[in-house]
Amino acid sequence: MASGEKKMVLHMSIAAHQLLSKLLRPKLSGHDWRSLADCMGFTYEDILDLECDMDPVVSIIRQWEKQDGATVEKLLLFLEKIERPDVIEDLEPFIESTPLPSEYRKSDIKERRLSLELERLTVSDEIFDAFICYAKEDRSFAYKILTTLESPPFCRKICIDYRDYVPGNCRIDQTAKIIEHRCIRLIAILSPNFTSSSSAGFQVRIALNLSPDFQQRRVIPILYEECEIPEILRPIYYLNYKDLDDCERPHFWKRLASSLGYVPKGSPQVQLKGHRSPYNSPSGSPQNLRKINDTSLTDKNDRNKSSKEKKERSFNDKHKLRGFNLLKSRKCQ
């Protein structure tokens, strides 16, 4: 170990973070995550806000571990202060396997990425358009999404756990790697079962952590049954399935498939290769669009003017011909 080098909470495995969440979430006055947050320096107002979070333990750990002094040693002192020796004991094997900061050199990161690419995570080594996140009670609807999106005309590649996971790996780590490295989007089936499922909430948080500012559309929520939308998903526009009738459902599937990259044949959104629509280009500002509209209007006026002139020429030529024929007949007489 390098002199003075200490293990960081940031470098602990996902399984260790999940264990902290499991052990500290139950309400134990003076011994739960609220007490830990207080030790970490969170204000009373911050803790009240975090109570509405789907997983407040993950939230406080993620925020605290960004600090320079967020060491494993300090975390253990906090756990000791709130009298949770059971958590310390359960974390010991994870702490032993946590690497030192010096092991996170750039060369090591490249090697880890290479090993991840070679690691067998799913039955087929392909990139999926979406990962289906659901509570086990909603498996029938998850299957309906799977079969509909993979069938024509959509033909999307969908990942679902019971069909695509390769057995033998740690389920938590495997899920995290698949969502991060193998799936472009995550479809979340929202229902009362979802809000009470820790595994479903964990999968959503992984996807959201990949784009915390919502710049990338990583999560696509579907309201399957009436429930309270989780706090972390409220900023995201969701698809409503529960209130649809038979006439409206075809539009639902088309919208869902479109969010995964499906483009209907003959759609005006399809562009020729190398062609850039002004509406989709950086120059497609309101001012530029106004210029385009003005140009179109000018072209239309020019066409109308040309058509009018053509009719007038035809009319004059017709009368000239009649006059010529009349003059010719008089000469013949």
pLDDT tens for 59-102 read: 888 788 777 788 999 999 999 999 999 999 999 988 888 878 77
Q: Which domains does the chain have, with CATH numbers?
A: 9-104 (1.10.533.10), 128-258 (3.40.50.10140)
Q: Specify whether the backbone of 251 is left (phi greater than 0), alpha (psi in -120 to 50) or beta.
A: alpha
Give the pLDDT confidence score for residue 145 in this predicted structure: 97
CA distances from 95 to 1, 269, 306 (A): 14, 52, 82
**Tokens coding 30:** 């003076």
**Tokens coding 93:** 């094997």
Please state the separation of Cα 242 from the chain's center in Å.
22
pLDDT tens for 157-192 read: 999 999 999 888 888 888 988 998 889 999 999 999
* Beta strand 239-240 pairing with 219-223: parallel
Q: Is 222 helix (H, G, I), strand (E, B) or coil?
A: strand
**Tokens coding 284:** 């497609």
Q: pLDDT confidence of 289, banded at 50, 70, 90?
A: very low
What is the distance in angstroms between the CA of the first residue and the CA of the last residue of the chain?
125
66: Cβ contacts below 8 Å, ≥ 6 apart: 10
Q: How far apart are CA 185 and CA 217, in angstroms?
A: 7
187: Cβ contacts below 8 Å, ≥ 6 apart: 130, 131, 132, 133, 145, 220, 222, 256
No. of helices (H) and no. of strands (E), the chain:
14, 5
Identify any residues that bridge with 133 across adjacent strands, giving them in sequence order.
188
Q: How far apart are CA 47 and CA 37, in angstroms?
A: 7
pTM over 0.85? The answer is no
Check: CB of residue 267 under 8 Å from CB of residue 153: no
Q: Which of 66-70, 126-130, 270-274 has the highest mean pLDDT?
A: 126-130
Residue 292 — φ and ψ, nearest 5°? -60, -45
Check: CB of residue 84 under 8 Å from CB of residue 25: no
Residue type, 62: R
